[in-house]
């Protein structure tokens, strides 16, 4: 297996030297830039991240500014990327760097992996790209490339398979480990794509690839999810007052979408009459209830199935924070889950 992987090094590096994309975080090897980009790229594709990365770095150009940013401002800068715990962990890690490392970015895998929100992959990426440490950086793209090249039929979603892949790659890592790691990620992101989208005719490794040779590209890697998804029904209320203000509420500081602002919502699907009673029980007089649309949002282990209603009232209640449309778009981080209802406010 290791001998088989050894053959990919030179063609991969030659391909990367010619085909690497120019990305905002590749302008330099500043660890802060690489770190922020890698955290953003978790669960999100490169093209979607670019504009968020530029905006984030302009607002928070270094570790110190990130460590000091108020949470509401941080979440607003992160809005649209989802998985907001990533942003909170960025801030926690920045605070730790300022407190425990005197503001200097940790320069080894062993230290990096101790920071909040940084696992083996991110620590390996930063350590190898920025500090030339000879460590691996194995993400989903790299797992896919290795599984196809070697013809491995093991379930890549299992931790032990990822660990084995890290060990195999560590044995063949060249001295320029950071460049090799970036090349593997780039190949998986742009050429060795999932399923039938793979562009094998453009791949520098096709001559050494078991999946290509045996026509197994659409079957590899094997990904067998072991979890059952839960579905939750919710009714979303777009409460608008006569003065044009909109009701929002802040979610608890812990749990799903912690600390985010949302439109009021409750579990279950409710009739218009039930909605009217619920709103009036909070001391507001309902003028009109209008069904808007259905929407669905998939979290990691949970699906929200939502029905949205616009509820016009004449007297804002103190139970909620009432904001203008301009404040809603400019100051408050609204979860992607309920953003499908935002256009209905205009």
pLDDT tens, 163-219? 999 999 999 999 999 999 999 999 999 999 999 999 999 999 999 999 999 999 999
Average per-residue pLDDT for the chain: 93
Q: Provide the percentage of residues in the chain whose pLDDT is more than 90.
A: 79
DSSP-based three-state secondary structure for 83: coil
The count of C-alpha atoms lying within 13 angstroms of the C-alpha of 136, restricted to the half-sphere facing its C-beta, is: 17
CATH 3.90.79.10 domain position(s) in the chain: 230-345
- pLDDT for 318 beyond 80: no
Tell me: pLDDT of 1 over 90: no
Would you give the DSSP letter of residue 126?
H
d(CA 178, CA 182): 6
Predicted confidence at residue 40, as pLDDT, reads: 96
The tokens describing 335, both together, are 């979860």
Q: In the chain, list all ranges with CATH 1.10.340.30.
A: 2-213
- The 10 Å Cβ neighbour count of residue 181 is 24
- Residues forming a β-bridge with 290: 310
In angstroms, the CA 116 to CA 251 distance is 22
**Of these residues, 2, 30, 38, 219, which one is catalytic?**
38
pLDDT confidence of residue 74: 96
- Which stretch of DSSP H or E encloses residue 183? helix 177-190
pLDDT for res 226: 64
Q: How far is CA 224 from CA 45, 160, 193, 217, 221, in A?
A: 22, 14, 18, 16, 10
CATH of domain 230-345: 3.90.79.10
The predicted structure's pLDDT at residue 52? 95
| Fold type of domain 2-213 | Endonuclease III; domain 1 (1.10.340)
Would residue 38 show up in a list of annotated catalytic residues for this protein? yes
The per-residue pLDDT for 161 is 94
Residues of the chain above pLDDT 70, percent? 99
- Which of 148 and 346 is assigned the larger pLDDT? 148
Q: pTM score, two decimals? A: 0.78
Mean pLDDT, range 109-127, rounded to an integer: 96
Please give the DSSP secondary-structure letter assigned to residue 345. Answer: G
Q: Burial code of 69-107, b = ≥16 C-beta within 10 A, e = fewer?
A: beeeebbbbbbbbbbbebbbebbebbbbbbeeeeeebbe
């Amino acid at each position: 297996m290791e001998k088989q992987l050894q053959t990919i090094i030179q063609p991969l590096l030659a391909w990367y030297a010619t085909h690497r994309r120019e990305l905002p975080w590749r302008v330099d090897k500043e660890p802060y830039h690489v770190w922020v980009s890698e955290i953003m790229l978790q669960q999100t594709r490169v093209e979607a991240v670019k504009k968020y990365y530029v905006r984030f770095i302009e607002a928070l150009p270094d570790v110190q500014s990130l460590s000091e940013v108020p949470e509401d401002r941080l979440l607003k800068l992160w809005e649209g990327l989802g998985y907001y715990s990533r942003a909170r962990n960025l801030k926690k890690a920045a605070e730790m760097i300022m407190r425990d490392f005197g503001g200097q970015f940790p320069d080894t895998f062993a230290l990096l992996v101790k920071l909040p929100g940084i696992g083996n992959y991110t620590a390996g990426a930063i350590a190898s790209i920025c500090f030339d440490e000879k460590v691996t950086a194995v993400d989903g793209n790299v797992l896919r490339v290795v599984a196809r090249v070697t013809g491995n039929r093991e379930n890549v979603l299992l931790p032990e398979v990822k660990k084995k892949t890290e060990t195999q790659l560590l044995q063949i890592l060249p001295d320029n480990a950071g460049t090799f790691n970036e090349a593997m990620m780039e190949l998986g992101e742009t050429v060795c794509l999932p399923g039938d989208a793979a562009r094998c005719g453009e791949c520098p490794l096709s001559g050494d690839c078991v999946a290509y040779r045996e026509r197994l590209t659409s079957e590899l890697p094997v990904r067998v999810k072991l979890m059952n998804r839960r579905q939750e029904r919710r009714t979303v209320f777009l409460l608008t007052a006569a003065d044009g203000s909109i009701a929002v509420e802040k979610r608890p500081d812990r749990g799903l979408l912690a600390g985010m602002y949302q439109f009021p919502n409750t579990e279950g699907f409710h009739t218009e009459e039930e909605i009217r009673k619920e709103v009036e029980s909070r001391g507001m007089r309902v003028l009109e209830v209008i069904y808007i649309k259905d929407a669905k949002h998939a979290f990691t282990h949970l699906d929200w199935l939502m029905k949205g209603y616009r509820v016009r009232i004449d007297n804002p209640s103190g139970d909620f924070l009432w904001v203008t449309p301009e404040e809603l778009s400019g100051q408050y981080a609204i979860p992607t889950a309920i953003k499908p209802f935002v256009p209905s406010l205009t």
